[in-house]
Amino acid sequence: MNLGIEGRTALVVGASKGIGQEIARELKAEGCKVFTISRTGKTDFNMDLMSQEATDLLAHAMSLTPPEIIVHVVGGSQGLTETLLPSTDWARVWRLNLGIAHDINRHFIPVMQRNKWGRIIHISSNAQRVGSGYGPYTSAKAALDGYVKQVSREFSKDGVIITAVAPGIIYTPGRYYASLDQKQKEEYFAKYLPIQRFGSAEEVAKVVAFLASDHAAYMAGSIVQVDAGAR
């Protein structure tokens, strides 16, 4: 299938490894000119985006080549697992999972509006659907889903299609689920994953590439589950 994005400029935020790295690779394979950013790693920009000043600096750096496709992969719990932490700690997790994306979007959506074409894809999670994960993280992802639903309504008429992908457990070397032995995996699959395997970064990247394409023009506000029907 021709996705119709050859020659488009894309920005992948959080592209040093795993899902983000695979998304960058997939978009390049589709002919996009891809810029990547991470805190560390072999990416075009190495920046910590936890401050608004940093996202402003990124926007300035890309002002001559504004992205037509933005994929927000950055996210996580920041190691904050306790529910009764101060709201300032929760705010750090919200900043990582939603605030950074919004501050980047606010710079480039007006350009997309003028050009009558744009794609913004957020990597969400299935944690808030299945009731797993920690309070700060799952609430931040729930807020992200609400953001995608509401903000897409405002800009879809201008050809700016904002969506999200909600992965389940994706096999990632070095992460917790990759360390499970065969018996632990079988127990987990029996309880949570009828498909009997973990997902791959490549499978997520293929969905993201489709959402970045012309074929996703009627998918504004969609949150696509890529979790094999996890329960």
- The answer to whether 146 and 98 have CB atoms below 8 angstroms apart is no
Contact 15/200 with Cβ under 8 angstroms?
no
Residue 10 is predicted with a pLDDT of 98
Q: Does residue 132 carry a pLDDT above 90? A: no
The answer to whether 99 touches 75, Cβ cutoff 8 Å, is: no
Q: Identify the DSSP state of 213.
A: S
The answer to whether 137 is a known catalytic residue is: yes
pLDDT value for 12 = 98
pLDDT for residue 22: 98
* Adjacent-strand bridge partners of 166: 225
Residue 3, pLDDT score: 97
Rounded distance between C-alpha atoms, residue 96 and residue 154, angstroms: 23
Looking at 134, 137, 176, 177, which residue is catalytic? 137
> Can you give the pLDDT at residue 129?
82
Q: What is the pLDDT of residue 49?
A: 97
Q: Residue 13 — pLDDT band, cuts 50, 70, 90?
A: very high
pTM of this prediction exceeds 0.75: yes
More confident residue, 127 or 75: 75
C-beta neighbour count of 55 within 10 angstroms: 22
pLDDT band of residue 57 (cuts 50, 70, 90) is: very high
The answer to whether the CB of 208 falls within 8 A of the CB of 71 is yes
Q: In the prediction, which pLDDT does 70 show?
A: 98
Q: For 100-126, what is each residue's pLDDT tens digit?
A: 999 999 999 999 999 999 999 999 999
In the predicted model, what is the mean pLDDT of the chain?
95
Rounded Cα gap, residues 69 and 160, in angstroms: 10
How far, CA to CA in Å, does 180 sit from each of 11, 169, 197? 34, 13, 12
Tokens of 28: 């390049």
Tokens encoding 229:
């029907």
Tell me the sheet residues that pair with 163: 121
**Is residue 93 within a helix (H) or strand (E), and if so which, with residue range?**
helix 87-94
Residue 131 has pLDDT above 80, yes or no: no
Structure tokens at 149: 């639903």
What is the predicted pLDDT for the residue at 101? 98
CA–CA dist 79, 197 (Å, integer): 26
User: What pLDDT is stored for residue 207 in this prediction?
Assistant: 98
Locate 185 and state its tokens: 């995996």
DSSP strands (E only) in the chain: 9-13, 33-38, 45-46, 69-72, 118-123, 160-167, 223-226
